């Protein structure tokens, strides 16, 4: 297997019934998947455990660090059941939502979420079944809400509820999430994704539980998160633009604008960002995507996203391997376009004078040095991954070869733009680090004899977050 990817943006592939056997996992990796997502909204503990076992065996066989992301379900709001099957609602009908578990009909149904009723007020809209049915609150109490149907349709048992524009007093982690988190950490996943993040406090809560054992990905799918976007991004280890629920709670025309806003914030603050949901949706059942889907993936790459994600396409679709291959080909085509580099450079957010640390200052210097000297590669020596992250923030012209003695760090960096990670032994001094960097660059195909590389590291070696050394060397 070719160890080096000839692209910068990464691919996250969701696992499911279509992609859980050893042969398919290997084909997905060969096609270009860098990180594999376990969706804890589906499957049982045994399913997730077996997938992790197979991925770690594949990692050992190929020698390529594989990132694993556990995606927690988060708080799901749902209506109750109906006595006589689905009910049809028409615009203008009155419809009551109430606590309890009494079966519903065309006049109303239960909604067993007392925390939702508290913040309701007249004029607030509720969306049922991904917005297919729209209700507007006319009167409400802590136990019920009398609504008027704005957009009619069919409602049935346990359909989802969204309350756009309202910060709901929901716990960031449900009891199920806490059980799933414990399992994910026991399995040794590299990233944990928190669904429906609304405020920085949600991120702080899960980070305290994780305790550094995995990186935390904040999924932005609630409009309320936009009010404190930079705070959430700064506290997160990575961010996902989860366009599914975001597109339900907001008008469709606003989602592309928010996507760009989130990506810009992440790039400015140096946090990896994943663009997700319906990237190649038609490939669930077709061997090729629509032109619009291909353009959608391309847009995320032109914006400088770290990764793009496949959901049902790789989890339950008929063409999981073809979906990964197509996404990889789209990324390669975009990154070969001279306009791509122009746009990446034009959208680069320079660090503000006086507001950076030594690592960021060195990375800014590195970016300029690489451009002036036409360096073949940037080699980062890192124990925690911090040096590689600050290098990736700059979106340099040369590829980033990340050297680390820590397998956990290598796996986590599989998500990060432009970073190819190789495990190496510990080094004791600058001379040895430089020698190892040059040998690795040559061996991994990043540089040939006589070419120049830039090395970034921190001293003393092995100290997380200590990036303070930039060295220019000839291979």
DSSP 119: T
Mean pLDDT calculated for residue range 205-218 = 97
Q: What is the pLDDT of residue 250?
A: 87
| Choice among 5, 37, 64, 207 that is catalytic | 37
Helix 255-269 crosses helix 291-302 at what angle (to 10 degrees)?
Answer: 30
> Alpha-carbon distance 188 to 70, whole Å?
10
Q: What is the pTM of this model?
A: 0.92
Domain borders along the chain are 10-74+171-337, 87-162, 358-474
Catalytic status, residue 435: no
Of 166, 189, 146, nearest in space to 12 by CA: 189
pLDDT at 149: 97
pLDDT at 27: 98
Per annotation, catalytic residue among 78, 96, 213, 264 = 78
pLDDT of residue 352: 66
Once rounded to an integer, what is the mean pLDDT over residues 101-106?
A: 94
Consecutive H or E run containing 261: helix 255-269
Give the separation between CA 172 and CA 204, rounded to whole angstroms: 10
* pLDDT for 459: 79
Q: Which architecture, in CATH terms, is 10-74+171-337?
A: Alpha-Beta Barrel (3.20)
Which entry of 26, 134, 219, 243 is annotated as an active-site residue? 219
Give the Cα separation of 28 and 6 in Å (integer).
16
pLDDT digits 0-9 by tens, 342-376: 999 999 987 767 666 888 888 899 999 999 999 99
Question: In the prediction, which pLDDT does 349 show?
Answer: 85
Q: What is the pLDDT of residue 355?
A: 61
Q: Which residue has the tokens 């640390």?
A: 357
> In this model, does residue 165 exceed pLDDT 80?
no
Confidence check: pLDDT of 70 > 80: yes
* Alpha carbons 179 and 175: distance in angstroms, whole number: 6
In angstroms, the CA 197 to CA 38 distance is 19
CA distances from 371 to 32, 222, 348, 365 (A): 28, 39, 14, 10
Residue 472, token pair as written in the block: 């220019």
Residue-wise over 13-41: b if at least 16 C-beta within 10 A, else e? bbbbebbbeeebbbbbbebbbbbbbbbbe
CATH code given to domain 358-474? 3.40.1380.20
Q: What is the mean pLDDT of residues 123-142?
A: 94
Q: Is 37 known to be catalytic? A: yes
Q: Return all residues near 211 (Cβ < 8 A) that are at least 6 apart.
A: none
- Mean pLDDT of the region 40-47: 93
Taking all residues of the chain, what is their mean pLDDT, rounded to a whole number? 94
What is the rounded CA–CA span in Å between residue 455 and residue 429? 13
pLDDT at site 115: 87
Instruction: State the average pLDDT over residues 447-453.
Output: 94
**Of 14, 277, 387, 467, which is the active-site residue?**
277
Q: Quick one: CA torsion of 366, 371, 374, 376, rounded to 10 degrees?
A: 50
Is residue 277 part of the annotated active site? The answer reads yes
List, in sequence order, the alpha helices (H) in 279-377.
291-302, 312-315, 320-335, 338-346, 358-373
* b/e map 45-60, b = 16+ CB within 10 Å: eebbeebbebbeebbe
DSSP bridge partners of 381 = 403
At residue 205, does pLDDT exceed 60? yes
Q: Is 243 a catalytic residue?
A: no
Contact between residue 104 and residue 82 where contact means Cβ atoms under 8 Å apart: yes
Q: Which residues contact 89 (CB under 8 A, 6 or more apart)?
A: 95, 106, 133, 149, 152, 153, 154, 155
Which whole-number Å values give the CA distances from 237 to 71, 194, 336, 410, 414, in the listed order?
14, 11, 29, 15, 14
**Residues 212-238, mean pLDDT to the nearest whole number:** 95
Please tell me the CATH code under which domain 87-162 is placed. Answer: 2.40.33.10
């Amino acid at each position: 297997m070719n160890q080096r990817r000839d692209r910068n943006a990464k691919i996250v592939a969701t696992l499911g019934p279509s992609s859980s056997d050893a042969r398919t996992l290997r084909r997905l990796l060969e096609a270009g998947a860098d990180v594999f997502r376990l969706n804890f909204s589906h499957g049982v503990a045994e399913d997730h455990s077996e997938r992790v076992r197979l991925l770690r065996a594949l990692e050992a066989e190929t020698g390529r660090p594989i990132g694993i992301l556990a995606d927690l379900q988060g708080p799901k709001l749902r209506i109750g059941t109906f006595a006589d099957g689905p009910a049809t609602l028409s615009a203008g009908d009155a419809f009551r939502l109430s606590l309890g578990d009494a079966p519903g009909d065309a006049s109303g149904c239960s909604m067993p979420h007392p925390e939702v009723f508290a913040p309701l007020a007249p004029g607030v809209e509720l969306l049922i079944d991904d917005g297919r049915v729209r209700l507007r609150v006319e009167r409400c109490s802590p136990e019920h809400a009398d609504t008027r149907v704005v957009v009619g349709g069919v409602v049935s048992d346990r359909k989802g509820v969204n309350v756009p524009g309202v910060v709901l007093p929901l716990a960031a982690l449900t009891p199920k999430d806490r059980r799933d988190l414990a399992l994910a950490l026991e399995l040794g996943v590299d990233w944990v994704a928190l669904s429906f993040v609304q405020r920085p406090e949600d991120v702080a809560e899960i980070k305290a539980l994780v305790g550094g054992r995995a990186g935390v990905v904040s999924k932005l799918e609630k409009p309320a998160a936009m009010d404190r976007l930079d705070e959430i991004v700064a506290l997160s280890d990575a961010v996902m633009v989860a366009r599914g629920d975001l597109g339900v709670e907001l008008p469709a025309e606003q989602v592309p604008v928010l996507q760009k806003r989130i990506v810009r914030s992440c790039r400015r603050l140096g946090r990896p960002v994943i663009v997700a949901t319906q990237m190649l949706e038609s490939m669930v059942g077709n061997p090729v995507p629509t032109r619009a889907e291909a353009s959608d993936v391309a847009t995320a790459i032109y914006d400088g996203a770290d990764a793009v994600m496949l959901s049902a396409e790789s989890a339950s679709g008929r063409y999981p391997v073809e979906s990964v291959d197509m996404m990889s080909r789209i990324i390669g085509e975009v990154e070969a376009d001279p306009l791509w580099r122009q746009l990446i450079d034009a959208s680069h957010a320079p660090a503000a004078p006086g507001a950076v640390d030594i690592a960021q200052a060195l990375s800014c210097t590195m970016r300029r040095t690489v451009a002036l000297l036409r360096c073949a590669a940037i080699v980062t020596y890192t124990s925690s991954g911090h040096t590689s992250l600050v290098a990736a923030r700059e979106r340099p012209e040369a590829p980033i070869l990340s050297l680390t003695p820590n397998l956990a760090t290598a796996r986590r960096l599989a998500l990060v733009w432009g970073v190819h990670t190789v495990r190496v032994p510990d080094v004791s001094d600058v001379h040895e680090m430089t020698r190892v960097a040059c040998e690795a660059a040559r061996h991994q195909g990043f540089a040939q004899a006589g070419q120049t590389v830039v090395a970034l590291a921190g001293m003393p070696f092995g100290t997380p977050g200590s990036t303070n050394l930039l060295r220019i060397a000839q291979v």
